[in-house]
């Protein structure tokens, strides 16, 4: 039995909900419209792909609710020339959105299963400017260089100095910061020279960011 496909009405309501909740960046809205969210969820969840809710994926991880994806993307203030680091590939959905708005996206994932699956879906969609790397977001390889924008899609109790150091001057980082077993505060950090200006945006709840590459999965 084929998986249910989203109806035009569902996709229209998807966009309407984003606008009603305050997403106004037209480039972000277009990216959200253009990326088929149903390809990034499990077959059992495809009927719910366009609801404004987080959904479970493999390895105990989630695909964030659409509003949070759009809001975090909008807060990054992306430009077409930007090089972006994403910590936590997950399904690959956020990377696909970022790929529509930036020159290059490097996405780190600690679970091999998720990294391999995300590469397949992103390749299917022609997201050739995304490089999914199996790795640890707390220990970003020096060879990856620095970035204009960094997005962390899992909760960190504190943002590591080593990650902040990867931001170019004027760069922006956004991450959920706080306890692993409670709500976190979505935090926006802007690098001004050697200083990092922080702004708390809203309460969120993300799965925890864990150190190291997973031994299994």
Which one, of 88, 126, 86, lies nearest residue 105 by Cα?
86
DSSP symbols for 35-62:
S-GGGGS-GGGGGGTTSSS-EE-GGG-E
Structure confidence at residue 1 (pLDDT) = 38
- Structure token digits, residue 202: 């809203």
Structural tokens at position 175: 């991450």
The pTM (predicted TM-score) of the whole model is 0.94
Residue 137 has a pLDDT of 85
Phi and psi, residue 21, nearest 5°: -90, 5
Active-site residue flag, 43: no
* Domains of the chain, start order: 8-204 (3.40.50.150)
Residue 165 has what DSSP assignment?
A: T
Q: Give the distance from CA 72 to its chain's centroid.
A: 8
Active-site residue, selected from the candidate residues 3, 43, 64, 99: 64
pLDDT in tens, 87-121: 999 999 999 999 999 999 999 999 999 999 999 99
């Amino acid at each position: 039995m084929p998986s249910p496909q989203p109806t035009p009405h569902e996709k229209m309501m998807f966009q309407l909900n984003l606008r009603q909740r305050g997403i106004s960046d037209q480039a972000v809205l277009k990216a959200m419209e253009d990326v088929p969210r149903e390809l990034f969820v499990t077959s059992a969840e495809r009927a719910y792909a366009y609801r404004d809710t987080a959904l479970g994926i493999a390895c105990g991880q989630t695909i964030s609710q659409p509003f949070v994806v759009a809001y975090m993307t909008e807060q990054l203030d992306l430009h077409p020339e930007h090089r972006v680091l994403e910590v936590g590939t997950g399904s690959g959905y956020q990377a696909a959105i970022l790929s529509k708005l930036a020159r290059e996206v490097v996405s780190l994932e600690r679970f091999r299963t998720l990294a391999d699956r995300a590469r397949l879906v992103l390749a299917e969609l022609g997201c050739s400017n995304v490089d999914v790397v199996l790795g640890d977001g707390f220990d970003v390889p020096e060879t990856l260089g620095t970035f204009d924008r960094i997005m962390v899609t899992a909760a960190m109790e504190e943002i590591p100095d080593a990650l902040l150091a990867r931001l170019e001057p004027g760069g922006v980082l956004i991450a959920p910061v706080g306890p692993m077993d409670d709500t976190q505060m979505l935090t926006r950090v802007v690098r001004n020279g050697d200083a990092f200006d922080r702004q708390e945006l809203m309460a969120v709840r993300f799965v925890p960011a864990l150190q190291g590459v997973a031994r299994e999965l």
